Amino acid sequence: MAEQSKTIVVIGTGYVGLPAALLLAQAGYDVVGVDINENIVRAINEGVLLIQEAELQAIMETPEVRANLRAQSTPTDGDVFIIAVPTPLDDRKKMADMSYVDSAMEAVIPHLKPGNLVIIESTIPPLTCRERITPMIEQATDLVVGETVFLAHCPERILPGDIFHEIVHNDRIIGGINPKTQDMAAEVYASFVKGDLYKTDDISAELVKLMENTYRDVNIALANEFNAVAETLGIDGPQAIQLANKHPRVNILSPGIGVGGHCIPIDPWFIKEVDPSNSRLIFASRLINDEMPHKIAAKIRHAVRDLDNPCVVILGAAYKPNTEDMRESPALEIVHLIKEDGYQVKHYDPLVPELQYESLVQISQEADLLAVLVPHTALIEDLEAHRTEIEQVMRTPRIVRYQ
């Protein structure tokens, strides 16, 4: 059981910070959640969870968590500071936008005392702990990182939608500049993680996190390339991939309409940022995946090329099936491209509150193309159950699944 006397201050209580804060409070720590968003602060103090996950809501309502967790808009003194603020891509420079981490650290530094531990959970480019955070701390205080104050990088691997299970059961990388730091950080996570904790140095931890999402991105790009080659040859790409996967040591991913979310299309750039000459495959993969929405938009145009003022119904806005999350969604980019062409476009997604519809039959009236961009399970089931009726009400009965 954790020491009740230790205070952990979690800066940034979004998808990553809040679940960690809840589990640390449940483990017995005194936890202060800090967020610049007043609505989030209020919700936490009222016991309301803005992330939709039943298990996390149940933890939020337990008496220990209600007693151990409070939220406020500025940091306070503590023993451990966990930074879980956004690190988006600076789209123009294709580099990490570190402004949120910088301001979180500026707010924490006045509270740092000898013996404190700072853990960065935000995804960061390699060398950030050594070349950015360490000088920030050492220039503003008398503290020496690794000796009188401790700095670790413990990246997060959670999957939104299954956060509770993943935050507890996933193995975790604990990166610290020296063994003492690693031991201190491991003690924090051991209070709620049931997966294995792997200790390493901070630079390795920074790179490992980026390697994980880059691995996915490069493999998706490979699937997209195979699919494109199959199309050139006039054969069924997904079926060819399935057949290749019958090899015992081959596991090609599925081709798609592009890569979305706020991790996979972003993190590979953080590797390129620190070592461009060794990131050629990573860079090429990013370009291939970023090009996909343009290719899909071209296919949609082609599907209705013979029609006058065609009406296109696009189904799916989320960045992947079975979520309402639209961050960096390729479907949104495709809709934007098609609208720019002057097509009549209607856009729906059964999981996104503002894009929901009454019935597929109703929204398909007089449509020329039903383009499925995001195959949510419920959407596909609904479509298959009513396919005949839908085709009857369309002006031109064309239903195409692009993913």
Cβ 267 to ligand NAD shortest distance, Å: 7
| Residues binding ligand NAD: number (CB under 6 A) | 26
Q: Which of residues 8-47 bind ligand NAD (CB under 6 A)?
A: 11-17, 34-37, 40
Type and span of the H or E element at 179: helix 179-190
> Which position among 24, 43, 84, 394 is part of the footprint of ligand NAD (CB under 6 A)?
84
- Point out the residue whose Cβ comes nearest to ligand NAD: 14
> Residue 130 has what DSSP assignment?
I
Span interacting with ligand NAD, options 64-72, 98-106, 244-252, 365-373, rule CB under 6 A: 98-106
Segments of 35-168 assigned E as strands: 69-72, 80-83, 89-90, 95-96, 117-120, 150-153
Q: Are 264 and 285 in contact (CB under 8 A)?
A: no
Q: How far is CA 23 from CA 6, 8, 31, 33, in A?
A: 14, 11, 10, 12
Residue 276 has what DSSP assignment? G
224 lies in the site for ligand NAD, by CB under 6 A: no
CB nearer to ligand NAD: give 16 or 282. 16
Q: Determine if 329 is a binding residue for ligand NAD (CB under 6 A).
A: no
CB of 50 to ligand NAD, least distance (A): 9
Q: How far is the CB of 112 from ligand NAD (least distance, A)?
A: 15
Shortest distance, CB of residue 271 to ligand NAD, whole angstroms? 14
Binding flag, residue 123, ligand NAD (CB under 6 A): yes
Q: Which residues does the annotation mark as catalytic? A: 209, 263
400's CB contacts (< 8 A; 6+ apart) are: 299, 303, 369, 370, 371, 372
Do 253 and 245 contact (CB within 8 A), yes or no? no
- Told to check if 156 binds ligand NAD by CB under 6 A, we report yes
CB of 2 to ligand NAD, least distance (A): 22
Comparing CB distances to ligand NAD, the nearer of 218 and 263 is 263
- The amino acid at residue 338 is I
Residue 217 within binding range of ligand NAD, rule CB under 6 A: no
| The binder of ligand NAD chosen from 95, 127, 136, 158 (CB under 6 A) | 158
- If one asks whether residue 160 binds ligand NAD (CB under 6 A), the answer comes out as yes
Burial 321-351 (b: 16+ CB within 10 A, else e): bebbbbbbbbbbbbbebbeeeebebbbbbbb
From the list 85, 303, 326, 379, which residue makes contact with ligand NAD (rule: CB under 6 A)? Answer: 85
34 or 374, CB closer to ligand NAD?
Answer: 34
Q: E strands, 339-380, where?
A: 344-348, 369-372
- For residue 117, report the phi and psi dihedrals to the nearest 5 degrees: -120, 130
Token couple for 224: 């997209």
User: What character string, x for contact with ligand NAD (CB under 6 A) and - otherwise, covers 257-296?
Assistant: ------x---------------------------------
Instruction: Name which position in 4, 52, 103, 278 contacts ligand NAD (CB under 6 A).
Output: 103
DSSP single-letter state for residue 374: S
Q: How far apart are CA 380 and CA 378, in angstroms?
A: 6
Among candidates 35, 22, 30, 34, which has minimal Cα distance to 61? Answer: 22
By beta-carbon proximity to ligand NAD, the closer residue of 87 and 364 is 87
119 binds ligand NAD (CB under 6 A): no
122 binds ligand NAD (CB under 6 A): yes
Binding region for ligand NAD (CB under 6 A) out of 117-125, 146-154, 286-294, 358-366? 117-125
Q: Please, which residue, 282 or 360, has the CB nearer to ligand NAD?
A: 282
| Residue 226 lies near ligand NAD (rule: CB under 6 A) | no
Pick the stretch among 54-62, 84-92, 143-151, 164-172 that binds ligand NAD (CB under 6 A).
84-92
Q: Where are the beta strands (DSSP E) in 35-189?
A: 69-72, 80-83, 89-90, 95-96, 117-120, 150-153, 172-176
∠ at Cα 302 (296, 303), nearest 5°? Answer: 90
366-372-375 Cα angle (round to 5)? 140
Structure tokens at 25: 């409070």
Binding site for ligand NAD (CB under 6 A): 11-17, 34-37, 40, 84-87, 100, 103-104, 121-123, 156, 158, 160, 263
